[in-house]
Amino acid sequence: MNEINQGETCAACDPKTHISAEVKAMFKQANLTWEKLAELDEGVGRGKGSYRQTFLARLVKAQETLQKVGYSIRIEKG
């Protein structure tokens, strides 16, 4: 990831969510784990749990979208 000083915005950041392009690409990987997201959260100066919260929000959005077209997924803690 690009190293930036706190308070600065890098060119690859989405201004709405402040999630870098590299992290967005990671969300598309099949091998992304909760532990990897926790490592990212530990390494950044942003709010604790930011990447994990974003991941969960995307899961919920996917679940809602699938329900609209007649499919369902169940999200469990495990």
Is 56 a member of any domain? yes
pLDDT at 75 exceeding the cut of 50 = yes
Average model confidence (pLDDT) across the chain: 69
Is 12 a member of any domain? no
Of residues 6, 9, 51, the one with CA closest to residue 27: 51
Quick: pLDDT tens for 30-57.
677 778 777 777 766 555 667 788 888 8
**Residue 54 burial (10 A CB sphere; 0-12, 13-18, 19+):** middle
How high is the pLDDT of residue 14? 53
Is 41 a member of any domain? yes
Could you give the number of structural domains in the chain? 1
What integer is the mean pLDDT of 72-76?
76
Is 15 a member of any domain? no
Domain that residue 51 falls in:
21-68
